[in-house]
Structure 1
Amino acid sequence: MAGSVDPPDGTPDGTPEGRPGGGEDEYRSVVFDESFIRAARLRELSAQERLDGRSGDPVRHRTDGSGQGPGEGRGGDRDDGSVPPRSQRHGSRTGALALVLVVAMIFAAAVHLVSRGPHGPPFDQPAQPARMSVVALAPQGPVPGGTPAELYTRAPAAQHRTGAAGVTLPPARSTAHFTQSQVLAALSTAKDYLVQSSLDPDVLSGSTDRPVRLLLDPDQLAQFDRSLDRPAADGRHTVGGWLVRFDPDRVVLADPEVRVHGTLGYTETSADELEVVSQHTFTYALRPVSSDTGAEDASLFTVRRELRFHFDREDLRLHRAELVTSSLWAGPLDCAADLSGTLSPLLAGQRATSTTAPATDPYGMAPASAAPACAALAPDAQPTPP
């Protein structure tokens, strides 16, 4: 039977079977010889290695001739050829997470500081005691009387606005260190203080002082409370320095619509402080407690208030004010009246018993401001005769 038969000693020169002619085989380039296999970096884990907890990674790196696997010293295989323990891999992840948290905290702190304003965090300056003065304006004749409507028509307050509408705000513009919104906050707080301390019927009658107290810097609350509890004409503790309050045993409002006229202004006194100055005239229609509502024995009482406020950034944020100075001129009043406490106006038909300020004893223990100041009430400031 014809056919090719391999020589007894195999094909000469390593020529594959059925490939006569010898020479290089065309498939030799794809045959993995022993040197290629020894150079392989990976090998399958043994059964024991799989039981040791590395079944999730079926292969591992082989060590090279230097005894180190690839990546040795950079989190790769250890010297014994095994992968790092799970605890080491978990520690690496924990460190990375901690780094991310630190970066996030730094970023959050930066955002918080930026949100507090372009000029850094608020700086809360301690408030100083307020300085105040009250001046009585004594009439030169009897106090004019009539109905509230008639009196207002014949008085300079005829063209003034009523209530809070008379406390108008100027245009708010940014300053060198304060934004427009911060300036507006200072003006708004000053207006609220004027409204609560000069127009609130309950404050005027002495029923409460809470609306005014809530607007003051906490550093001034002790001075405020002392002034209302134990008033004194010492330039620090007069009731009229903080608010307008009438003697509830003598007078009441004859008309709840108080006439108001004045201005508000502001300026930056330092990089950390705004100043607001208010100058307003308040005209009240009053009547004796014993008279009937709508009676013709009402009279007008005029109060001129000049207040100076300071605001740091903490005050602006908390909607509160530091009262620096307060000056009040009020009439018709008697120069002999005690101006440290509630105001006791002269009513329709009454005359001042004294139009001269009491003498001041320069050797006395009380400061010069303790004696109530007094001045004449201009006739033009009162309603004209009918």
Structure 2
Amino acid sequence: MGGSADPPEGTPEGGPGGGEDEYRSVVFDESFVRAARLQEFSAQERITDHAPAVRSLPPLRKGLSRQALILVLLMALAFGTAIYMGVRHPYQAPDGSGPPAEPLRMTVIPLSPRGEVPGAADTDLLYARSPAAQFRIGAEGVPLPAARRTAHFSDSQVTGALSIAKDYIVRSALYPEVLTGDQTRPVRVLLDPEQLDQFDRSFSHPAPDGRHAPTGWLVRFDPSQAELADRRIRVQGTLQAAESDAGTLEVTADHTFVYALRPAREDAGGDKADASLFTVRRELQFRFDREDLRLHQAQLVVSYVQAGPLSCAEDSVNRLHPLLSGQTAKEGGPAGTDPYATGGATALCGSLAPGSQPKV
């Protein structure tokens, strides 16, 4: 029933309060009309063609708007750029990585004493009365020089090359686990991957060919004969960096290491034998390209080692066999050299100057 002001039959349809009033706020815009699937024929069309009241419209074409297409292109460009930057290092030389790593060329020269090796129970006394009296202890004896940029390498890159070279020197000549021959990994992880085959072959099949001597890569003693009497190894030397070409840095290292040794416990028979000094002079040449600097690795290309007191007749290729306190060099010279053999190296031996021994 209508309200008090409405006619008994209710508000007339189409009037101010009629049923259409609730649709007056609805507005059909042009896009809504175009999207309709049905369209009513006009009165003229229905009379002329006797067509039904409505007809179906073909579906609208659906496609990407211009904004969506631009967004897709930008995303594809960003993705491609990310892949490109991931496979190409920003500091890589324009012509790619540097030349292949050269194999290490090594020379190990034992130095033979002329008489008995001097020794003493007090290692401090031995050092104080030797040329190593003013040497620094351990890694402090391998200081980094001031780094200066080169034509194609920054200060930080030169410092990085010097730091890697120092790491190699410290690990290969000062780590106790390396000196005893127990481990090689601390040294191996610093090498360029292209030199790893040569490194591994040197330890699996040592040979006096100037390429595969473990003592050319690192310092290690025969643990059945000698052990450290003092872990405070004396060191002195220099590091120098220079640019060899637009893509390569070279670092030259020249260090002298002095070890206090005594017979291994099984050789000493339980008694504390006197200690003696053993000297190793190492001249190393490292090479670095930008990839080596990024990965903290080095190419060791030259190793020139002099060590003593040793016997020239002993094999110094695989391990060093130091002459200890009171011992003398065995008779005989280095192994013979065959001039007809190819790929070998000349066996060398030197004489240890008396002035290099402690005065005790």
Q: TM-score range by the shorter chain?
A: 0.7 to 0.9
User: What secondary structure is seen at the aligned counterpart in 1 of 2:277?
Assistant: strand
Counterpart of 2:71 (choices 90, 97, 106) is 97
CA distance in 1, matches of 2:60, 2:77: 28
Counterpart of 2:36 (choices 51, 54, 58) is 51
* Equivalent position of 2:345 in the other structure: 369
Letter in 2 for 1:369: A
* Equivalent position of 2:167 in the other structure: 192
TM-score normalised according to structure 2 size: 0.79
CA 1:163–1:85 in 2, change beyond 3 Å: closer, same or farther? Answer: same
Given that 2:93 and 2:247 are in contact with CA atoms closer than 8 Å, whether structure 1 keeps it comes out as no
Given that 1:234 and 1:366 are in contact with CA atoms closer than 8 Å, whether structure 2 keeps it comes out as no
Letter in 2 for 1:354: E
Counterpart of 2:287 (choices 284, 307, 310) is 310
CA 1:157–1:51 in 2, change beyond 3 Å: closer, same or farther? Answer: same
CA distance in 1, matches of 2:299, 2:310: 29
Alpha-carbon distance, 1:327 to partner? 0.7
Alpha-carbon distance, 1:123 to partner? 1.4
Counterpart of 2:134 (choices 150, 159, 173) is 159
User: What secondary structure is seen at the aligned counterpart in 2 of 1:241?
Assistant: helix
Q: Does residue 297 of structure 2 align to residue 345 of structure 1? A: no
Letter in 1 for 2:71: L
Superposed CA deviations along residues 203-228 of structure 1, whole A, max 9, x for unmatched, are 00011101001001111111111111
Alpha-carbon distance, 1:361 to partner? 3.2
Deviates more, 1:374-383 or 1:117-126: 117-126
CA distance in 2, matches of 1:359, 1:100: 72
CA distance in 1, matches of 2:86, 2:205: 45
CA 1:298–1:197 in 2, change beyond 3 Å: closer, same or farther? Answer: same
Alpha-carbon distance, 1:44 to partner? 7.1
Deviates more, 1:162-171 or 1:353-362: 353-362
Q: Does residue 123 of structure 2 align to residue 148 of structure 1? A: yes
Alpha-carbon distance, 1:231 to partner? 0.8
CA distance in 2, matches of 1:224, 1:195: 18
Report the RMSD for the aligned CA atoms in angstroms: 2.9
* Equivalent position of 2:22 in the other structure: none
Mapping for residues 26-37 of structure 1, pairs under 5 Å: none
CA 1:319–1:47 in 2, change beyond 3 Å: closer, same or farther? Answer: closer
Given that 1:135 and 1:328 are in contact with CA atoms closer than 8 Å, whether structure 2 keeps it comes out as yes
TM-score normalised according to structure 1 size: 0.74
CA distance in 2, matches of 1:181, 1:295: 49
CA distance in 2, matches of 1:111, 1:240: 41
Given that 1:122 and 1:314 are in contact with CA atoms closer than 8 Å, whether structure 2 keeps it comes out as no
Mapping for residues 71-150 of structure 1, pairs under 5 Å: 85=60, 87-88=62-63, 90-105=64-79, 116-117=90-91, 120=94, 123-146=97-120, 147-150=122-125
CA 1:49–1:278 in 2, change beyond 3 Å: closer, same or farther? Answer: closer
CA distance in 2, matches of 1:188, 1:285: 27
Superposed CA deviations along residues 348-376 of structure 1, whole A, max 9, x for unmatched, are 0111123744543323x2555242x1111
CA distance in 2, matches of 1:128, 1:273: 13
Structure 1 runs not aligned, ≥5 long = 1-42, 54-81
Given that 1:268 and 1:274 are in contact with CA atoms closer than 8 Å, whether structure 2 keeps it comes out as yes
Alpha-carbon distance, 1:117 to partner? 3.1
Given that 2:147 and 2:159 are in contact with CA atoms closer than 8 Å, whether structure 1 keeps it comes out as yes
Alpha-carbon distance, 1:288 to partner? 0.2
User: What secondary structure is seen at the aligned counterpart in 1 of 2:139?
Assistant: helix
Q: Does residue 201 of structure 2 align to residue 226 of structure 1? A: yes
CA distance in 2, matches of 1:96, 1:216: 48
Alpha-carbon distance, 1:179 to partner? 1.2
CA 1:232–1:103 in 2, change beyond 3 Å: closer, same or farther? Answer: closer
Bigger Rg, structure 1 or 2? 1
CA distance in 2, matches of 1:184, 1:121: 24
Identity within the alignment, %? 50
Counterpart of 1:300 (choices 273, 277, 291) is 277
CA distance in 2, matches of 1:176, 1:227: 37
CA distance in 2, matches of 1:368, 1:225: 19
Query: Aligned residue pairs: how many?
Result: 312
Alpha-carbon distance, 1:169 to partner? 0.8
CA distance in 2, matches of 1:106, 1:130: 40
Alpha-carbon distance, 1:98 to partner? 2.5
Given that 2:119 and 2:276 are in contact with CA atoms closer than 8 Å, whether structure 1 keeps it comes out as yes
User: What secondary structure is seen at the aligned counterpart in 2 of 1:369?
Assistant: coil
User: What secondary structure is seen at the aligned counterpart in 2 of 1:285?
Assistant: strand
* Equivalent position of 2:150 in the other structure: 175
CA distance in 2, matches of 1:340, 1:151: 28
Alpha-carbon distance, 1:52 to partner? 4.5
Q: Does residue 356 of structure 2 align to residue 381 of structure 1? A: yes
User: What secondary structure is seen at the aligned counterpart in 1 of 2:108?
Assistant: strand
Given that 1:261 and 1:282 are in contact with CA atoms closer than 8 Å, whether structure 2 keeps it comes out as yes
Structure 2 runs not aligned, ≥5 long = 1-27, 39-56
